């Protein structure tokens, strides 16, 4: 269970002059996330493990990364994209299901949809849903690169790289973040057992993120 508390050290909040910072209790892993429906009401939260393990420059880079998410409006954008693709999934599944039911199973005009229509629609909801998830996860990975760049611009490229490398070992540990918050975290832990989440990652690998940062023309 994650417990949200007030931060004990005021300078953590003053690092980037961003005051909506809370600390959640998670000693085993270093992580952070941003949430909120708009830029003015956003919240950045960091784990107690992150505060204990990272130095001041690395912590500044992590906060800058999360503030990058806030500045880019990523929390709302990801939710909107998820809603739009879900609507397309439902629409196209029913259009294709109706087409197949009419042209293959012989349903005539004026007749109610048969069992074939409903069976096909359910299958297509699943298939199109998997494809839609791939699109959403692609955007999720893309916004991580943008937030890393924002972190590098605000806190320095080397500080951002150092923070990511410190998270690298922990990325192989079982993930303790709630599933609904994983897309908003700075790092994604390893899933236990097989799941579709292993095929549709919300975050690029640390190696990919570090390589992208090294290519930036930043100090």
**43: enclosing H helix or E strand:** strand 43-47
Task: Indicate the pairing of strand 21-24 with strand 4-5.
Answer: antiparallel
Task: Indicate the pairing of strand 4-5 with strand 32-35.
Answer: unpaired
Written as tens digits, the pLDDT of the chain (219 aa) is: 333 344 433 433 444 455 577 788 777 777 888 887 777 778 888 888 888 888 889 988 998 899 888 888 888 888 899 999 999 999 999 999 989 888 888 877 778 787 888 999 999 999 999 999 889 998 999 999 999 998 998 889 999 999 999 888 776 655 555 554 454 455 555 544 444 554 578 888 888 899 999 998 887
What per-residue confidence (pLDDT) applies to 102?
A: 84
Q: Which two tokens stand for residue 125?
A: 């909801």
Q: Which of 58, 66, 149, 170 is catalytic?
A: 66
What per-residue confidence (pLDDT) applies to 91?
A: 95
What per-residue confidence (pLDDT) applies to 12?
A: 37
Per domain, the residue ranges of the chain are 56-219
- The CA–CA distances, whole Å, from 193 to 49, 74, 118, 182, 200 equal 24, 29, 32, 17, 14
- The pTM of this model reads 0.72
Q: Can you tell me which residue has the tokens 């699943």? A: 126
Catalytic residue check, 180 = no
């Amino acid at each position: 269970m994650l417990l949200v508390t007030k931060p004990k050290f005021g300078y953590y909040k003053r690092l980037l002059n961003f005051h909506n910072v809370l600390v959640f209790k998670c000693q085993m892993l270093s992580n952070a996330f941003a949430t909120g429906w708009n830029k003015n009401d956003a919240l950045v939260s960091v784990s107690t493990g992150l505060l204990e393990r990272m130095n001041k420059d690395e912590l500044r880079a992590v906060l800058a990364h999360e503030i990058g998410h806030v500045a880019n409006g990523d929390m709302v954008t990801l939710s909107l994209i998820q809603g739009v693709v879900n609507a397309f999934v439902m629409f196209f599944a029913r259009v294709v299901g109706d087409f197949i039911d009419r042209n293959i199973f012989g349903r005539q005009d004026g007749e109610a949809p048969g069992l074939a229509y409903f069976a096909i629609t359910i299958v297509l909801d699943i298939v199109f849903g998997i494809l839609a998830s791939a699109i959403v996860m692609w955007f999720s990975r893309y916004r991580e690169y943008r937030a890393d760049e924002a972190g590098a611009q605000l806190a320095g490229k080397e500080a951002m790289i150092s923070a990511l490398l410190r998270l690298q070992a922990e990325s192989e540990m079982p993930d303790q973040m709630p599933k609904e918050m994983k897309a908003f975290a700075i790092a994604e832990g390893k899933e236990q057992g097989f799941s579709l989440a292993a095929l549709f990652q919300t975050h690029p690998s640390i190696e990919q993120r570090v390589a992208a940062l090294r290519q930036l023309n930043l100090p």
